[in-house]
Amino acid sequence: MTGKKLVLGITGGIAAYKSAELVRLLIKAGAEVQVVMTEAACQFITPATMQTLSGKPVFVGMWDASIPNGMPHIELSRQADAILIAPASADFIAKLVHGRADDLLSTLCLARDCTLLVAPAMNKQMWENPSTQRNIAQLQADNILVLGPDSGEQACGEVGLGRMLEVDELLLLINAHFTPKLLAGKRVMITAGATVEMIDPVRGITNLSSGKMGYALAQAAADMGAIVTLVSGITAIKSPANVRNVEANSADSMYSAVMHGITNQDIFIGVAAVADYTPIEKHAQKIKKCESSLKINLIKTKDILADVASLPNPPFCVGFAAESEKLIEYASQKRIEKKLPLIVANDAAYAMGADDNQVILIDKNGTFPITRSRKSDIAQSILMHVTTLL
């Protein structure tokens, strides 16, 4: 969203308090935000708060003298890449459906020549009311993007659909809207997270992978229009939006899940930290601590990435190499041995569990470093590079 200009419209509702955090996150993501509020919204959060967070004057009335041509509804909409209404009350949604223009925000929406996104927020009975559902259907028919709502506890104490999406979810959806659909229609399978090789019912062999990089790639691929299957090991991360998630907690189950679904995939990205070894014997009962030492016999697991790359008609394969030394040398060797068109090399000391990373892309044309940044940004950079090699 770097450099994107957004108009954030805030209507009257208790969810307006979330809009303050939304502005902060949008600006942090690189967007420029102009806030427009209805008079009802000012009863829930002040224009002064939104001005402080956005760094811009907040517009409320139609006749604001600070707009030189006296037409803020034209001036503001022509500068915007998109208009987002969050929260969007039932009343304001009805205005949009019927083309009413009786305040600045509604007039701005009617006069726009950019995308309009709407994040509904209301009581569950209001949301479920047939008139609201008809209005939502009409918005969608008019190519207005409806984001949410969510289900949960509401300010009135009731529980159900109608809550405005949380701001981090909104941010993902807005980012997806602006992401070029360079992978539209492509089928992408990604493995992520750590596997656990059980020794007995309570102990296992695993590693420190958080799954963040794989999940970031899955989200980025979906944002770019791909049909994404995420084969996930152990992780505490929420499943990405618009992604099919297949659980596979052991090396063997992950191998089976990948091989079962690899047919017709266009791209395969092996990010998961799959255990290289698994115990030969899985004890049915907990091993009691009664000896001074314990020996566990291990056997190598199947190499998922190598076997996918060796298929008669393999997808475009991307590997990951987390190394603690000789990063480029070991990663390059792995790429050649497994016959991969692209491998992503990263230092294991920095990669495991962190929200950011720095990597080096290695393909037949050379090495391409990506400087330290958020894993979500690195994921987009990796996929952009993939599109140049397809």
Mean pLDDT calculated for residue range 297-312: 95
pLDDT tens for 64-101 read 666 666 566 666 777 889 999 999 999 999 999 999 98
Number of domains in the chain: 2
Do 173 and 192 lie in one domain? The reply is no
| CATH number of the domain within which 248 lies | 3.40.50.10300
Report how far residue 10's alpha carbon sits from residue 94's, in angstroms, rounded to the nearest whole number: 15
The rounded percent of the chain whose pLDDT value lies above 70 is 95
pLDDT value of residue 62: 75
Q: Is the pLDDT of residue 264 over 60?
A: yes
Do 224 and 170 lie in one domain? The reply is no
Helix 47-54 vs helix 16-28: crossing angle, to nearest 10: 10
Do 309 and 225 lie in one domain? The reply is yes
DSSP tag of 126: H
The tokens for 43 are 């009863």
What residues make up the domain containing 281? Answer: 187-389
Helical segments of the chain, H only: 16-28, 47-54, 72-78, 90-98, 104-110, 124-128, 130-141, 167-178, 212-223, 251-261, 304-309, 327-337, 348-351, 375-389
Q: Is the pLDDT of residue 348 over 80?
A: no
Do 77 and 154 lie in one domain? The reply is yes
Instruction: Using the structure block, give the residue that is written with the tokens 């915007």.
Output: 80
Q: Which of 124, 158, 178 is the last residue of a domain?
A: 178
Mean pLDDT calculated for residue range 1-27: 92
pLDDT value of residue 29: 87
User: With b meaning 16 or more CB within 10 Å and e meaning fewer, what string describes 251-266?
Assistant: bbebbebbeeebeebe
pLDDT band of residue 342 (cuts 50, 70, 90) is very high
Identify the three-state secondary structure at position 228. strand
* Mean of pLDDT over the chain: 90
pLDDT value of residue 294: 83
Cβ neighbours for 305, distance < 8 A, ≥ 6 positions apart: 268, 270, 317, 319, 338, 340
Do 60 and 203 lie in one domain? The reply is no
C-alpha triplet 334, 337, 343: angle, nearest 5°:
40
Quickly count: other Cβ atoms within 10 Å of residue 62's Cβ: 18
pLDDT value of residue 78: 78
Burial class of residue 98, CB neighbours in 10 A (0-12, 13-18, 19+): exposed
**CB 59 within 8 Å of CB 104:** yes
Do 354 and 249 lie in one domain? The reply is yes
pLDDT band of residue 3 (cuts 50, 70, 90) is confident
Do 153 and 232 lie in one domain? The reply is no
Mean pLDDT calculated for residue range 227-252: 92
pLDDT value of residue 374: 86
pLDDT value of residue 98: 92
The tokens for 98 are 């019927």
| CATH number of the domain within which 111 lies | 3.40.50.1950
156 belongs to the catalytic site: yes
Report how far residue 311's alpha carbon sits from residue 329's, in angstroms, rounded to the nearest whole number: 26
pLDDT value of residue 207: 85
Report how far residue 372's alpha carbon sits from residue 360's, in angstroms, rounded to the nearest whole number: 10
Nearest-CA neighbor of 206 among 219, 193, 215? 193
* Catalytic-role residue among 42, 109, 156, 290: 156
Do 153 and 207 lie in one domain? The reply is no
Q: Which of 178, 209, 241 is the last residue of a domain?
A: 178
Identify the three-state secondary structure at position 73. helix
pLDDT value of residue 66: 64
Residue with more model confidence, 63 or 7: 7
Mean pLDDT calculated for residue range 259-266: 95
Q: Is the pLDDT of residue 201 over 80?
A: yes
**Peptide bond before residue 240 is cis, with ω within 30 degrees of 0:** no
Do 138 and 243 lie in one domain? The reply is no
pLDDT value of residue 67: 62
- Angstrom CA distances, 299 to 100, 121, 334, stand at 70, 55, 21
Do 327 and 381 lie in one domain? The reply is yes
Window from 58-62, 242-246, 351-355 with minimum mean pLDDT? 351-355
Mean pLDDT calculated for residue range 200-212: 89
pLDDT tens for 94-135 read 999 999 988 899 999 998 888 999 999 998 889 999 999 999
Do 191 and 121 lie in one domain? The reply is no
Mean pLDDT calculated for residue range 266-277: 95
Q: Select the highest-mean-pLDDT range: 115-119, 149-153, 350-354.
A: 115-119
Q: Which of 154, 178, 202 is the last residue of a domain?
A: 178
pTM of the model as a whole: 0.78
Do 139 and 243 lie in one domain? The reply is no
